[in-house]
Amino acid sequence: MEGLLDHGLRAILTRVGGVDRCVSEFIRVTDQLLPARSFLRVVPELRHGSRTASGVPVRPQLLGSDPACLAENAAQLAELRPAGIDLNFGCPAKTVNRHRGGAVLLDEPELIHRIVAAVRRAVPAHVAVSAKMRLGYEDDARTLDCARAIESAGAGELAVHARTKAHGYRPPAYWESIAGVRAAVRLPVIANGDIWSVEDARRCRAVTGCDALMLGRGMVRSPGLARAIAAARPGAPGGAAAAVAALPWRGVVPLLADFWADVCGRVERRHRAGRLKQWLNYLRVAYPEAQQAFDALRAVHDPAAITPWLERLARETRAVPADALLLID
């Protein structure tokens, strides 16, 4: 989720629990070898064993269409000891697709095969190579061709978003198509799309046959979702563990405080308020209190006004002490 779920929010969401691994925003590869700083800017976790502060592995993701250039960059990235390398064949953005990146490549399974194979050859055997795809570009006629191309090229894992590019993010997600992919390939398949609740996770597992799930917007809307899904897994401790899985609003407030502190420390002043409101815009789907917060801050653009507002919110919810927030200007 480029522009929102970056390393700062990754650190906060993984702290809540339930996440086994993260995949970064894509790193665009065109016609040149990127310096190490380009990878570190998107995935600063590479400085810390490719893990978030709470110890969750982060797998950098590359996007491009030139097999040789992607391979060279993957080899460069491998020197930073990532927790694997992921390849993006799913981005539906028009600008990306127009420049032959993301989901548009799903019309060219042969090229997808060459990309995955080139990257697999370019990195050491211990570096996992995975891929993410949609069901197709305009339609799903080549879904299985693309999945088989990824498998035969040597990828060790495949995540499938259960829509085509043409579907965008409109519901529903076609989970039954993921079941078809899983039946057609031997490598592990991860299901993605429209997992908003524990019940959605149960139904997605039942329909697709996949044990592993990928969360995106659902996790941003409901930071406790992964923890709740993990607590509801068969064999997971029941009772108290399941009862504390959901994250109440009072548990979200300190996350907002930490998010704001992070944003103020590294984002240009004029963009800071927008970043906070962007997350609140997602949170308000799951939390009525987030709607109230969004309304209160809708017309506020000065960071100096937001910090004391968050301090008051913390006091009102008794989630964090009033002095836990400092004005960072």
Do 210 and 314 belong together in one domain?
Answer: no
Among candidate residues 175, 208, 243, the one where a domain is terminated: 243
Do 310 and 228 belong together in one domain?
Answer: no
Indicate the range of 32-36, 268-272, 325-329 predicted with least confidence.
325-329
The C-alpha R_g of the chain, in whole angstroms, comes to 20
- Exposed, middle or buried: residue 266 (CB in 10 Å: 0-12, 13-18, 19+)? exposed
CATH classification of the domain holding 304: 1.20.225
Do 181 and 312 belong together in one domain?
Answer: no
Buried b (16+ CB within 10 A) or exposed e, 156-186: ebbbbbbbbbebeeeeebbbebbbbbbeebe
Instruction: Check residue 227 and give its pLDDT.
Output: 96
Among candidate residues 243, 278, 300, the one where a domain is terminated: 243
The total domain count for the chain is 2
pLDDT, mean of residues 100-116: 97
Do 164 and 301 belong together in one domain?
Answer: no
1 lies in a domain? no
Residue-averaged pLDDT of the chain: 93
Alpha helices in 153-268 (DSSP H): 175-184, 198-208, 217-221, 225-231, 240-243, 249-266
Among candidate residues 243, 271, 290, the one where a domain is terminated: 243
pLDDT, mean of residues 150-178: 97
Do 278 and 233 belong together in one domain?
Answer: no
Do 222 and 260 belong together in one domain?
Answer: no
pLDDT of 304-315, one tens digit each? 999 999 999 999
Contact 314, 257 (CB under 8 A): yes
Task: Give the model's confidence band at 37: pLDDT under 50 very low, under 70 low, under 90 confident, else very high.
Answer: very high
Task: Give the model's confidence band at 202: pLDDT under 50 very low, under 70 low, under 90 confident, else very high.
Answer: very high
Q: Is the predicted pLDDT of residue 264 greater than 90, yes or no?
A: yes
> Which among 69, 91, 204, 210 is annotated as catalytic?
91
pLDDT, mean of residues 43-54: 98
- 91 catalytic, yes or no? yes
Do 239 and 253 belong together in one domain?
Answer: no
pLDDT, mean of residues 278-294: 96
